[in-house]
């Protein structure tokens, strides 16, 4: 199926998504583009863990997930964040349905390193038929990054990783990271297209700095397998570049960019 884009909505930006973002998603749909949304929920998970006095730690940027924490993670992602985002889409007349990656074997996972990270997994299989069935009914899937393993365990999947796996499995034309920034800026001007090589140079010369570094690095991690380009766009002040593209920064693999010149 052509014209699929995967939108990864970060947990910190979901509550701040503007009406214009949803209007622009509808515009893309009107142009025959099929969005699939994968969301995170880190801040909400952390807030609930603190409220319940559940101790947690981060290792290599990943929240180590115990059995006790896994119940909280699923409760927050599937029971709160997912229906909230799905409802906002429906409020803007976009047919959307929330679904957990653990439903209908949508996402299958293997443990990243159980002794080190606990129930943190990486996606080993995506049941694309489930997603295609929803798209064929003109329904936007809204996926929470929970997955089952063949060992019977439920796994917490990093949302960036889940979105990249879904995009690759669907042969998506774009993987779009929806953030709270317009994209990569240089001297106050938006860079509409860059290569991974350019991004590394911009990090080295401090053009990209602070909280923007993990955003672009997460985006570049999406450039794997069948994903040829990723975008960073603003969900708070969403704009369209043209009828079929959101405004933001497109990042392409340096080798692929050279090959297509």
Binning pLDDT at 50, 70 and 90, where does residue 1 land? confident
Residue 71 Ramachandran class (φ > 0 left, ψ -120 to 50 alpha, else beta): alpha
> Is residue 11 scored above 80 in pLDDT?
no
Q: What is the pLDDT of residues 123-148, one digit of tens each?
A: 999 999 999 999 999 999 999 999 99
Region 198-202: mean pLDDT is 92
> Is residue 213 scored above 90 in pLDDT?
no
3-class secondary-structure state, position 115: helix
Produce one character per residue of 124-151: b if its CB has 16 or more CB atoms within 10 Å, e if not. Answer: eebbbebbeebbeeebbbbbbbbbbbee
Looking at 10, 40, 121, 160, which residue is catalytic?
160
Region 46-61: mean pLDDT is 91
Query: Residue 256 has what pLDDT?
Result: 55
Q: What is the pLDDT of residues 142-197, one digit of tens each?
A: 999 999 999 999 999 999 889 999 999 999 999 999 988 899 999 889 999 999 99
Q: Which residues contact 245 (CB under 8 A, 6 or more apart)?
A: none
d(CA 58, CA 119): 13
Looking at 101, 118, 164, 215, which residue is catalytic?
215
Task: Name all domains of the chain by residue range, CATH numbers in brackets.
Answer: 4-259 (3.40.1160.10)
The counts of H helices and E strands in the chain are 10, 18
Query: Residue 33 has what pLDDT?
Result: 95
Q: Which residues contact 35 (CB under 8 A, 6 or more apart)?
A: 4, 5, 6, 7, 25, 28, 29, 140
3-class secondary-structure state, position 118: strand
**Averaged pLDDT of the chain:** 91
CA distances to 83, 105, 158 from 125, rounded to whole Å, are 24, 9, 15
Using an 8 Å Cβ cutoff, are 224 and 206 in contact? no
> Is residue 259 scored above 60 in pLDDT?
no
Query: Residue 255 has what pLDDT?
Result: 66
185: burial class by Cβ within 10 Å (0-12, 13-18, 19+)? middle
8 catalytically annotated: yes
255 catalytically annotated: no
Query: Residue 261 has what pLDDT?
Result: 42
215 catalytically annotated: yes
């Amino acid at each position: 199926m052509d014209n699929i884009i995967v939108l990864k909505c970060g947990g910190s930006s979901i509550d701040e998504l503007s009406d214009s973002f949803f209007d622009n998603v509808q515009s893309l749909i009107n142009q025959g583009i099929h969005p699939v949304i994968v969301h995170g929920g880190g801040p909400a998970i952390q807030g609930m863990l603190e409220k319940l006095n559940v101790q947690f730690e981060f290792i290599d940027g990943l929240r180590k997930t115990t059995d006790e924490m896994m119940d909280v993670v699923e409760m927050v992602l599937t029971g709160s964040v997912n229906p909230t985002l799905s409802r906002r889409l429906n409020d803007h007349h976009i047919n959307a349905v929330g679904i957990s990656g653990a439903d209908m074997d949508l996402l299958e996972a293997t443990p990243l390193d159980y002794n080190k990270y606990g129930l943190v997994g990486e996606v080993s299989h995506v049941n694309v038929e489930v997603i295609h069935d929803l798209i064929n009914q003109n329904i936007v899937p809204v996926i929470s990054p929970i997955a089952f393993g063949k060992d019977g365990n439920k796994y917490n999947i990093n949302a960036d990783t889940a979105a990249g796996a879904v995009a690759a499995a669907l042969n998506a034309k774009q993987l779009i990271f929806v953030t709270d920034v317009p994209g990569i800026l240089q001297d106050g001007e938006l860079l509409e297209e860059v290569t991974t090589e350019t991004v590394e140079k911009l990090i080295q010369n401090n053009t990209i700095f602070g909280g923007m570094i993990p955003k672009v690095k997460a985006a570049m991690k999406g450039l794997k397998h069948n994903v040829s380009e990723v975008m960073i766009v603003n969900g708070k002040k969403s704009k369209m570049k043209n009828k079929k593209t959101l405004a933001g920064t497109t990042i392409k693999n340096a080798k692929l960019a050279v090959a297509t010149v």
